């Protein structure tokens, strides 16, 4: 292991100052569940690690009716499980947090790390897309905001410029009963990489009518929204025809690839099945549909 320096700034201002002096061998360290194995394998050789976990601005978990939910980039996945506001307004986030690796990994892995790692199969990113999440970014030119959808540029690639840090994500408030479901397939017992997953959330408007969101994991170069399915589900009172058509839109939107874990064909076949299961799980919780 090549030796490296380690710093633990105590505020966002200190993080920003360190990043201004950073070079290509400076890495931001959050929970380290992705970064540390990469360093150990020699795939990343940093000279300096900036541990962002002690900066209060990156550890916020705050909900207000006007602003919605702010999740600091450095909050661990496990913290989502203990928040009453997340349980009440964004239960899909808790469903995803519960299926994360293991207790130890959940206590280390952060929300921001899941976003910045930019894995096509990132489970929390997929759930966050269902809430129109916006990313707060800080860098030498100050602060900027970008929708999560535009932050993701492909495997391992994000819209972060050199010397920028993801500070937090903001999820707008929803103004109604919110229900979510995430159906996924992983390889083997204890596997932690999602081969394919479909997240769905609905916010009730009236009986059988809701505002819907759907997003895919492991089925394209980044997690992605399926707006065509959302439009079908929002077009009127939910029925069997709409469920089948929306699930088919998930299949149409999928652009899976072959890799060591699964074939593109297998992933493509999973897309409509998982989409239908997620839609049904949401409709059952929301209205007792099909129960
Ligand atoms: C055993 C195991 C189980 C796992 N289970 C799951 C799972 O169920 N679902 C899932 O989606 N993933 C899973 N993962 C993958 C990984 O844990 C997650 O992607 C995790 O959220 C990464 O967060 P981290 O804080 O550990 O990131 P780190 O490893 O600290 O960082 C990841 C990358 O993001 C950069 N980065 C981190 N934070 C910021 C920031 N705020 N601003 C700018 N750059 C930043 C780092 O420089 C690094 O390049 C698992 C991994 C392991 C080893």
Q: Which of 135, 158, 162 lies closest to 223, judged by CA?
A: 158
Q: Whose CA is nearest to atom 41 of ligand 1?
A: 166
Give residue 107 CA to ligand 1 midpoint distance, Å.
Answer: 12
pLDDT score for 283: 96
Question: How many Å lie between the centroid of ligand 1 and the Cα of residue 104?
Answer: 13
Q: Which ligand 1 atom lies nearest to the CA of residue 52?
A: 41
Q: Which of 6, 9, 30 to mutate to test the pocket of ligand 1 (most atoms within 8 A of CB)?
A: 30
Report phi then psi at 226, rounded to 5.
-120, 80
Instruction: Answer yes or no: are the C-beta atoms of 151 and 115 closer than 8 Å.
Output: yes
Which residue among 59, 79, 80, 114 has the greatest number of ligand 1 atoms within 8 angstroms of its CB, and so is best to mutate? 114
Q: For 60-95, how does the pLDDT look when each residue is reduced to its tens digit (9 = 90+)?
A: 999 999 999 999 999 999 999 999 999 999 999 999
7: confidence class by pLDDT, cuts 50, 70, 90: very high
Nearest-CA residue for ligand 1 atom 19 is 114
Q: How many A from CA of 112 to the centre of ligand 1?
A: 8
Residue 273, pLDDT score: 98
Q: Write down the pTM of the prediction.
A: 0.97
**Cα(113) to centroid(ligand 1), Å:** 4
CA of 233 to the centre of ligand 1 (A): 33
Can you tell me which atom of ligand 1 is nearest the CA of 119?
A: 19
Residue-wise pLDDT tens digits, 90-136: 999 999 999 998 999 999 999 999 999 999 999 999 999 999 999 99
> Which ligand 1 atom minimizes the distance to the CA of 34?
29
How far apart, in whole angstroms, are the C-alpha atoms of residue 121 and residue 226? 15
Confidence grade of residue 191 (pLDDT, cut at 50, 70, 90): confident
* Ligand 1 atom 5 nearest Cα: 101
Q: In the chain, pLDDT over 90 holds for what percent of residues?
A: 91
CA-73 nearest atom, ligand 1: 41
């Amino acid at each position: 292991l090549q030796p490296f320096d380690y710093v633990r700034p105590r505020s966002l201002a200190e993080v920003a100052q360190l990043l201004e002096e950073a070079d290509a061998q400076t890495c931001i360290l959050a929970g380290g569940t992705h970064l540390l194995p990469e360093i150990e394998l020699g795939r990343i050789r940093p000279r300096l690690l900036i541990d962002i976990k002690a900066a209060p601005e990156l550890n916020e978990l705050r909900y207000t009716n006007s602003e919605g939910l702010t999740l600091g980039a450095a909050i661990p996945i496990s913290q989502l499980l203990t928040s009453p506001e997340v349980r009440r307004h964004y239960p899909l986030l808790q469903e995803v947090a519960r299926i994360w690796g293991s207790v130890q990994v959940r206590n280390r892995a952060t929300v921001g790390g899941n976003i910045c790692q930019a894995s096509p199969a990132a489970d929390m990113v997929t759930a966050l897309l269902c809430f129109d999440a916006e990313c707060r970014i800080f860098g030498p030119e100050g602060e900027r905001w970008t929708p999560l959808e535009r932050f993701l540029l492909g495997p391992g690639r994000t819209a972060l410029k050199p010397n920028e840090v993801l500070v937090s994500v903001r999820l707008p408030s929803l103004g109604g009963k919110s229900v979510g479901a995430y159906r996924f397939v992983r390889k083997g017992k204890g596997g932690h990489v999602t081969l394919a997953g479909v997240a769905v959330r609905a916010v009730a408007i009236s009986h059988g009518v809701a505002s819907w969101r759907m997003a895919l994991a492991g089925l394209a170069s980044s997690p992605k929204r399926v707006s065509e399915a959302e439009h079908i589900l929002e077009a009127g009172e939910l029925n069997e025809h709409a469920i089948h058509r929306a699930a088919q839109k998930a299949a149409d939107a999928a652009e899976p690839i072959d890799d060591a874990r699964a074939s593109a064909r297998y992933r493509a076949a999973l897309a409509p099945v998982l989409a239908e299961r997620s839609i049904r799980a949401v409709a059952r919780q929301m209205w007792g549909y099909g129960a």
